[in-house]
């Protein structure tokens, strides 16, 4: 079996290395990942200039592009062998609730799904421990399960893992996305010449974070597995919009 690994933290990120160690005995791994941290890249695709792929070590490649570029290039021409599974992560940080809209980790998995491949996006909800090896062990268990018993439908599975020792993880829950409070205000600083610079503020805490949500599972020491769909249509509102548009009918 051929497994493609990618991430958004960059090719040298510890979470990616832990993931590769955990999957090594499963098949032939190829890592195609950004050459630097591209967290927050979402589904961006590099269209206005070419992208280079640099070999790092055998089977490991650094790309001067986004996570979406990495999966797209790897599956659509760069790799000669067909890939059977795409794993993205393990991200250094949670991808809960609205985070999935900004996440490059999730974007790499979305691109894999677009290309017809089963996929997991994996994120460690980093606190103080940075238990990447425990998270990688969970990832391996999920992959083993996925191979033994494939999903009935084509899904993107967004997996968040609490930052705990393996033995302290309570279990695995199927969840829905919660939602965060809005982020802190942007932070204004100044450069050495007194000109203003801005940093995006810290993410907000869980707002819609009750039982059944990804936030709730993580808060209580469980791995959260959320199936994602890409159809962002609000189906229940299509009729209302049609009524509203009738006002403009010519
Ligand atoms: Mn990241």
Q: Residue 77 belongs to a domain with what CATH number?
A: 3.40.1210.10
Q: Across all residues in the chain, what is the average pLDDT?
A: 96
CA of 199 to the centre of ligand 1 (A): 17
- pTM assigned to the model: 0.95
The total number of structural domains in the chain stands at 1
The whole-number pLDDT of residue 62 equals: 98
Which tokens is 175 given? 């969840």
Which structural domain range is residue 25 located in?
2-246
CA of 132 to the centre of ligand 1 (A): 13
pLDDT tens figures, 82-102: 999 999 999 999 999 999 999
Q: In angstroms, rounded to a whole number, what is the distance separating the alpha carbons of residues 23 and 66?
A: 23
CA of 6 to the centre of ligand 1 (A): 11
Query: DSSP for 45-81?
Result: ---SS---EEEEETTEEEESS-HHHHHHHIIIII-SS
pLDDT tens figures, 207-221: 999 999 999 999 999
The whole-number pLDDT of residue 152 equals: 79
CA of 238 to the centre of ligand 1 (A): 34
Q: CA angle 135-207-14, nearest 5°? A: 20
pLDDT tens figures, 108-161: 999 999 999 999 999 999 988 899 999 999 999 999 999 999 887 888 999 999
């Amino acid at each position: 079996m051929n497994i493609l690994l990618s991430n958004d933290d960059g090719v040298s990120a510890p979470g990616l290395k832990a993931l590769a160690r955990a999957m090594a005995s499963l098949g032939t791994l190829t890592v195609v990942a950004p050459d630097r941290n591209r967290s927050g890249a979402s589904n961006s695709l590099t269209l206005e200039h070419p992208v280079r792929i640099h070999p790092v070590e055998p089977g490991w490649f650094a790309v001067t592009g986004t996570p979406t570029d990495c999966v797209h290039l790897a599956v659509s021409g760069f790799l000669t062998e067909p890939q059977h599974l795409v794993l993205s992560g393990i991200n250094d940080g949670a991808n809960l609730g609205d985070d999935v809209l900004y996440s490059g980790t999730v974007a790499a998995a979305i691109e894999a799904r677009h290309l017809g491949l089963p996929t997991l996006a994996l994120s460690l909800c980093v606190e103080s421990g940075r238990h990447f090896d425990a998270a990688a062990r969970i990832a391996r268990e999920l992959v083993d399960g996925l191979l033994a018993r494939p999903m009935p439908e084509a899904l993107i599975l967004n997996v968040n893992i609490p930052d705990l020792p393996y033995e302290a993880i309570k279990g695995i829950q199927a969840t829905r996305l919660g939602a965060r409070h809005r982020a802190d205000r942007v932070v204004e600083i100044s450069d050495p010449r007194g000109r203003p610079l801005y940093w995006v503020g810290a993410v907000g805490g869980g707002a819609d974070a009750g039982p059944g949500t990804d936030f709730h599972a993580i808060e209580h020491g469980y791995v959260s597995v959320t199936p994602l769909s890409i159809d962002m249509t609000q189906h229940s509102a299509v009729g209302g919009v049609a009524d509203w548009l009738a006002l403009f009918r010519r």
